[in-house]
């Protein structure tokens, strides 16, 4: 069973900004969260789901709260080499 997804107000705001800048939709973000190309640790208990996209990297920071995934923020960056980890890629 797939987990439910909860969007914080900040995450919704950021998604709207990135939709205008780069065409990143809510559906794309949710698909990435449920099927990440790579999952890396963030600060504290935050995890970051990421996927290579359009010459860059889409990153979604979230908390796994058991039955739901809570999106904290998201962004796209060209700095793939800074965040991508070839040695330990895995998914949820």
**Per-residue pLDDT tens listing for the chain (92 residues):** 778 999 999 999 999 999 999 999 999 999 999 999 999 999 999 999 999 998 999 999 999 999 999 999 999 999 999 999 886 545 44
On whether the CB atoms of residues 62 and 15 are closer than 8 A, the answer is: no
Which single residue is written with the structure tokens 């900040």? Answer: 10
**The pLDDT value given to residue 92:** 43
For the chain, how many helices (H) and strands (E)? 3, 5
User: What span, in angstroms and rounded, lies between the C-alpha atoms of 4 and 34?
Assistant: 9
What lies within 8 Å, CB to CB, of 43 at 6+ separation is none
Class of the CATH-defined domain 4-84: alpha beta
**The pLDDT value given to residue 90:** 52
């Amino acid at each position: 069973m797939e987990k439910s997804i909860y969007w914080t107000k900040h995450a919704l705001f950021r998604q709207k900004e990135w939709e205008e800048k780069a065409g990143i939709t809510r559906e794309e973000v949710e698909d990435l969260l449920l099927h990440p190309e790579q999952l890396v640790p963030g600060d504290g208990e935050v995890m970051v789901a990421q996927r290579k996209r359009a010459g860059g990297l889409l990153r979604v920071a979230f908390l796994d709260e058991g039955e739901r995934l809570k999106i904290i923020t998201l962004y796209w960056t060209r700095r793939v080499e800074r965040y991508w980890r070839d040695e330990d890629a895995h998914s949820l």
